[in-house]
């Protein structure tokens, strides 16, 4: 029981870390056609995430891998039920990843245009669909007692699901705009900051609507009502979102970005705590839901995996902080002139 | 077409495409790390130019390898959900350990290497490539342990209708995994060595940048000779292990129908699966198979007929792929030895250089054929002796899989064309002057 509970929250943490890190990459890609007016702007944007996106994306692989290792039944039912949505995400991420690498390799406007489009599509689609998928998980998925999904891709595109999608896109866009504000100067920085400023009230509005809609469309609040102490997570998330604005108007972009990171982690945990112990609730019948208790691996596997992540996750966080620190500061002309720059 | 066949085709497309790029990065990371270390130690600019030139090709391959690897991890869930639920306790944890211990390091450091030329000291920058090389090797270790478990499941018990882990060490250190790892990684090193030699041959034929490409050729040559031997020797040991653990695969590889002592190896055999015999048999070497896999020419080897029809793998594909792989393996040894003999007069050996240029695709073929032997030869099992492939597939609609299969073919097709265009473009142009920024 204890092991399964630990793993439930580790599972949530890994997804939260993925949204927090790759979230700004996806946000930058979504803002790319709007903020990147000149080729120079575009190059600054992709070089701002250049050294980091690959390491960020591995949080997704790890979140997926840990779902497989700790909750094989959830992995199998979740990914086969959300088949079309997940495949769209994967194709999009393939396009995004190679676009960074390919874009600068041939000096021709049409070549660059193709990869510019792929960067946008490859970032916007995953941002939206991750939101749609998680909102649907919060709400419950039509799976039967054999874990067979009764629905299509369009079943997921219900109002609450789409609301979740919009929420994620906005969270990531602000997160990305703040990263660009940190990494750029002059006109681009101003436009990025002003975009974050303009999107902020929209995000606040959507966040409030999402919380209210969660009351009616999901059972997430049941856990909060039972253990009111958990309301602190919602409180912290809201405070983090308010501090994004606070730091943004003061132009302390790194603090604003950090607050935005906390908002994303908080939003994910709002859902994860509300779900507990469900990992993949069934909307057909609560008895069909996959939980931390009925879908986990054997205690031996959970223990081995716990040892592995206790050693390696802090190590990974350590060397990722080192890498972020190595590449702190603005993207300069010299950075762009460098052979391997994107 | 049914979901099983479509899902198999999709997985085959995804893995075979992925494996066009992975072996190159496994080998090149070590070669580039070596070149950069030579630069740091000697200060010789040519080594820096070599690092940059081959490094760029490494990065293009790496990018495609990474993005196509992600779909593989998720496809076990999307298309093989019953498999995932049944073996996730063991198989899932191996994949998760791969991501946390190896893939993370590799992916974080690749950005550091690309963008860190000015931010790190020369020594630290070279050390980053060594770490990338080691981390990618460990990635291969975990993935191949996982695959070896599908070939020869060990260390588990069946409880609550699924395979549960009981002995982790048995899974990690089984013979099958160890030799599969060495065989696969050596094949990857042969591929990267032949690529470097082939591209260098192109430039040497055009008599451009002779010093640069002679050095590149020789660096790869040493690597190529050693591992072309290792890959064949390990292949031989694998044969012994397969004979013990997967008798149906062995019989299919050699298209051996009857159980017999003094079992032969045929130079060529055309199996006729319907009538359970070979239509054509050429160059039979009696006792050879018994000798190779049991070290005794009189040993009895079970033929395909000793197993029920529904437990035999497709014989034609398995045996052809196997023969092709073995033939290529011996060719690589000869080509590498020939290179050693001519190593000090490469520019004056245009025929040999042309041969090496034309040989670039061959190790790619050998790698793919090897995986065909491993995976098709395991059929009808997804986990040998434990779970049938047909029982492993997700309960999803045929139309869904058909749609994504078309998607894979289109996206990977475009990606392949673009990727190889960029690789060729960068491989065939002259290396730039050295710039340390």
Render pLDDT for A71-95 as a digit per residue (tens, 0 to 9). 999 999 999 999 999 999 999 999 9
Structural element, H or E, at residue B301: strand B300-301
Given a cut of 60, whether residue B436 has pLDDT beyond it is no
- Chain A residues in contact with B118 by the CB 8 A cut-off are 334, 338
Angle between helices A2-35 and A53-70 (to 10 degrees): 150
- In angstroms, what separates the C-alpha of B131 from chain A's closest C-alpha? 13
pLDDT at B437: 39
Q: Where are the alpha helices (DSSP H) in A36-185?
A: 39-49, 53-70, 72-81, 83-103, 109-139, 159-183
Nearest CB to A79 within list B81, B109, B422: B81
Could you tell me if B271 and B291 are in contact, meaning their C-beta atoms sit under 8 angstroms apart? Answer: no
Q: What is the pLDDT of residues A207-252, one digit of tens each?
A: 999 999 999 999 999 999 999 999 999 999 999 999 999 999 999 9
- Chain B residues in contact with A318 by the CB 8 A cut-off are none
Could you tell me if A316 and A172 are in contact, meaning their C-beta atoms sit under 8 angstroms apart? Answer: no
B39 burial type by CB count under 10 A (0-12 exposed, 13-18 middle, 19+ buried): buried
Q: How far apart are the first and last CA of chain B?
A: 54
Could you tell me if A178 and A194 are in contact, meaning their C-beta atoms sit under 8 angstroms apart? Answer: no
Across B60-79, average pLDDT: 91
Chain A residue at shortest CA distance from B106 = A55
d(CA A179, CA A256): 9
Angle between helices A2-35 and A299-326 (to 10 degrees): 30
Are A72 and B89 inside 8 Å of each other by CB?
yes
pLDDT at A255: 96
- In angstroms, what separates the C-alpha of A222 from chain B's closest C-alpha? 29
- Output DSSP code: residue B141: H
Q: Where are the alpha helices (DSSP H) in B206-314?
A: 210-245, 247-253, 288-294
Q: Considering chain A, what is the average pLDDT of its residues?
A: 93
Q: Are strands B265-272 and B156-159 parallel, antiparallel or unpaired?
A: unpaired
Chain B residue at shortest CA distance from A55 = B108
Which SS3 state, helix, strand or coil, does residue B165 take? strand
The distance from CA B290 to its chain's CA centroid, rounded to whole angstroms, is 27
pLDDT at B118: 87
Are B74 and A64 inside 8 Å of each other by CB?
yes
Handedness of CA B21, B27, B28, B30 (dihedral sign): positive
Are A68 and B77 inside 8 Å of each other by CB?
yes
Q: What does the CA dihedral A17, A22, A28, A32 come to, rounded to 10 degrees? A: -150
**Quick one: what percent of chain B has pLDDT higher than 70?**
98
Q: Note whether B413 contacts A: Cβ–Cβ < 8 A.
A: no
Q: Considering chain B, what is the average pLDDT of its residues?
A: 93
- Chain B residues in contact with A80 by the CB 8 A cut-off are 77-79, 81, 394-396
**Quick one: what percent of chain B has pLDDT higher than 90?**
84
Are B85 and A72 inside 8 Å of each other by CB?
yes
Chain A residue at shortest CA distance from B420 = A102
Chain B segment 60-79 residues within 8 A of A by beta carbon are 60, 63-64, 66-68, 70-71, 73-74, 76-79
Are B59 and A340 inside 8 Å of each other by CB?
yes
Nearest CB to B63 within list A52, A77, A101: A101
Given a cut of 90, whether residue A288 has pLDDT beyond it is yes
Given a cut of 90, whether residue A341 has pLDDT beyond it is no
pLDDT at B434: 46
Q: What does the CA dihedral A301, A306, A307, A310 come to, rounded to 10 degrees? A: 160
B305 burial type by CB count under 10 A (0-12 exposed, 13-18 middle, 19+ buried): middle
Q: Are strands B277-285 and B265-272 parallel, antiparallel or unpaired?
A: antiparallel
- Chain B residues in contact with A309 by the CB 8 A cut-off are 100
Q: Which of B246, B287, B193 is nearest to B373 (CA)?
A: B246
A107 versus A299: the higher-pLDDT residue is: A299
Are B112 and A323 inside 8 Å of each other by CB?
yes
In angstroms, the Cα distances linking A16 to A20, A92, A174, A264, B363 are: 6, 20, 16, 7, 42
Q: What is the pLDDT of residues B170-216, one digit of tens each?
A: 999 999 999 999 999 999 999 999 999 999 999 999 988 999 999 99
Which residues, at least 6 apart from B91, have a Cβ–Cβ distance to it below 8 Å?
A68, B76, B84, B146, B149, B150
Could you tell me if B150 and B116 are in contact, meaning their C-beta atoms sit under 8 angstroms apart? Answer: no
d(CA A315, CA A224): 33
Q: What does the CA dihedral B420, B423, B429, B430 come to, rounded to 10 degrees? A: -160
Could you tell me if B306 and B293 are in contact, meaning their C-beta atoms sit under 8 angstroms apart? Answer: no
pLDDT at A101: 86
Q: What is the pLDDT of residues A30-55, one digit of tens each?
A: 999 999 889 899 999 999 998 999 99
Which neighbouring-strand residues pair with B387?
B383
pLDDT at B433: 56
Q: Are strands B156-159 and B300-301 parallel, antiparallel or unpaired?
A: unpaired
Backbone angles phi, psi at B272, to 5 degrees: -120, 95
d(CA B71, CA B55): 25
A283 burial type by CB count under 10 A (0-12 exposed, 13-18 middle, 19+ buried): middle
Given a cut of 50, whether residue B321 has pLDDT beyond it is yes
Q: Which of A134, A137, A135, A141 is nearest to A284 (CA)?
A: A141
Across B26-34, average pLDDT: 95
ipTM confidence: 0.91
Beta strands in B131-188 (DSSP E): 156-159, 162-165
Are B92 and A72 inside 8 Å of each other by CB?
yes
Q: What is the pLDDT of residues A103-117, one digit of tens each?
A: 888 888 899 999 999
Q: How far apart are the first and last CA of chain A?
A: 48
Interface with B, mutate which of A22, A56, A298 (most B CBs under 10 A): A298
pTM for the structure as a whole: 0.93
Could you tell me if B239 and B293 are in contact, meaning their C-beta atoms sit under 8 angstroms apart? Answer: yes
Instruction: For the beta carbon of residue B401, count every other beta carbon within 10 angstroms.
Output: 26
């Amino acid at each position: 029981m204890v092991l399964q509970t630990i793993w439930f929250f580790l599972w949530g943490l890994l997804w939260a870390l993925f949204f927090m890190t790759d979230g700004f990459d996806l946000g930058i890609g979504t803002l790319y056609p709007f903020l990147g007016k000149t080729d120079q702007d575009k190059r600054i944007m992709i070089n701002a995430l250049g050294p980091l996106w690959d390491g960020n994306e591995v949080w997704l692989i790890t979140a997926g891998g840990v779902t497989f290792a700790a909750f094989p039944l959830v992995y199998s039912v979740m990914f086969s039920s959300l088949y079309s949505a997940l495949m769209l995400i994967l194709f999009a991420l393939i396009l995004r990843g190679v676009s960074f690498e390919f874009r600068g390799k041939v000096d021709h406007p049409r070549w660059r245009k193709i990869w510019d489009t792929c960067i946008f599509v490859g970032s916007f689609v995953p941002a939206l669909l991750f939101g749609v998928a998680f909102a649907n998980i919060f709400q419950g998925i039509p799976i039967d007692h054999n874990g067979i999904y009764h629905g299509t891709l369009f079943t997921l595109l219900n109002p609450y699901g789409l609301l979740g999608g919009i929420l994620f896109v906005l969270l990531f866009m602000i997160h990305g705009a703040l990263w660009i504000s940190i990494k750029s100067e002059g006109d681009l920085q101003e436009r990025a900051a002003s975009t974050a400023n303009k999107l902020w009230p929209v995000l606040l509005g959507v966040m409030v609507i999402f919380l209210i809609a969660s009351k009616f469309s999901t059972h997430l609040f049941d856990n909060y009502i039972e253990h009111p102490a958990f309301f602190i997570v919602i409180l912290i998330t809201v405070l983090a979102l308010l501090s994004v604005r606070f730091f943004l108007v003061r132009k302390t972009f790194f603090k604003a970005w950090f607050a935005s990171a906390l908002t994303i982690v908080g939003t994910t945990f709002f859902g994860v705590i509300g779900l507990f112990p469900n990992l993949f609730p069934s909307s057909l019948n609560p008895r069909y839901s996959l939980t931390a208790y009925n879908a986990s691996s054997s205690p031996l596997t959970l223990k081995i995996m716990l040892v592995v992540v206790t050693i390696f996750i802090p190590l990974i966080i350590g060397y990722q902080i080192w890498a972020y620190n190595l590449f702190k500061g603005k993207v300069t002309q010299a950075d762009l002139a460098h052979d391997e720059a994107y | 077409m049914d979901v099983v066949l479509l899902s198999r085709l999709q997985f085959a497309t995804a893995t075979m495409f992925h494996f066009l790029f992975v072996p190159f990065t496994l080998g090149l990371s070590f070669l580039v790390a070596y070149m950069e270390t030579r630069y740091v130690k000697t200060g010789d600019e040519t080594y820096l130019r070599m690092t940059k030139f081959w490094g760029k090709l490494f990065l293009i391959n790496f990018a495609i390898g990474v993005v196509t690897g992600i779909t593989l991890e998720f496809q076990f869930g999307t298309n093989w959900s019953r498999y995932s639920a049944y073996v996730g306790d063991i198989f899932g944890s191996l994949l998760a350990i791969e991501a946390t211990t190896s893939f993370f390091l590799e992916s974080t450091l690749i950005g550091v290497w690309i963008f860190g030329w000015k931010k790190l000291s020369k020594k630290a920058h070279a050390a980053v490539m060594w770490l990338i090389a080691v981390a990618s090797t460990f990635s291969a270790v975990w993935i191949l342990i996982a695959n070896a478990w599908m070939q020869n499941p060990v260390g588990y018990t069946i409880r609550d209708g699924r395979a549960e882990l009981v002995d982790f060490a048995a899974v990690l250190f089984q013979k099958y995994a160890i030799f599969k790892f060495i065989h696969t990684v050596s094949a990857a090193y042969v591929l990267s060595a032949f690529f470097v030699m082939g591209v260098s041959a192109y430039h040497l034929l055009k008599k451009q940048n002779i010093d640069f490409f002679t050095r590149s050729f020789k660096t790869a040559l040493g690597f190529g000779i050693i591992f072309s031997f290792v890959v064949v020797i390990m292949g031989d040991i694998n044969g012994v292990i397969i004979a013990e653990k997967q008798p149906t695969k062995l019989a299919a590889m050699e298209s051996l129908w009857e159980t017999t002592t003094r079992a032969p190896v045929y130079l060529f055999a055309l199996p006729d699966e319907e009538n359970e015999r070979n239509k054509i048999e050429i160059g039979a070497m009696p006792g050879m198979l018994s000798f190779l896999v049991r070290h005794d020419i009189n040993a009895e080897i079970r033929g395909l007929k000793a197993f029920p029809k529904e437990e035999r793998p497709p014989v034609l594909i398995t045996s052809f792929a196997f023969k092709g792989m073995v033939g290529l393996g011996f060719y690589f040894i000869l080509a590498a030895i020939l290179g050693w003999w001519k190593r000090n007069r490469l520019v004056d050996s245009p025929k040999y250089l042309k041969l090496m240029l034309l040989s670039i695709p061959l190790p790619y073929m050998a790698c793919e054929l090897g995986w065909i032997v491993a995976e098709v030869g395991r059929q009808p099992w997804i986990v040998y002796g434990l779970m049938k492939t047909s029982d492993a597939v997700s309960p999803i609609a045929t139309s869904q899989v058909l749609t994504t299969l078309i998607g894979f073919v289109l996206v990977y097709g475009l990606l392949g064309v673009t990727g190889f265009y960029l690789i060729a473009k960068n491989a065939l142009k002259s290396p730039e002057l050295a710039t340390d920024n």
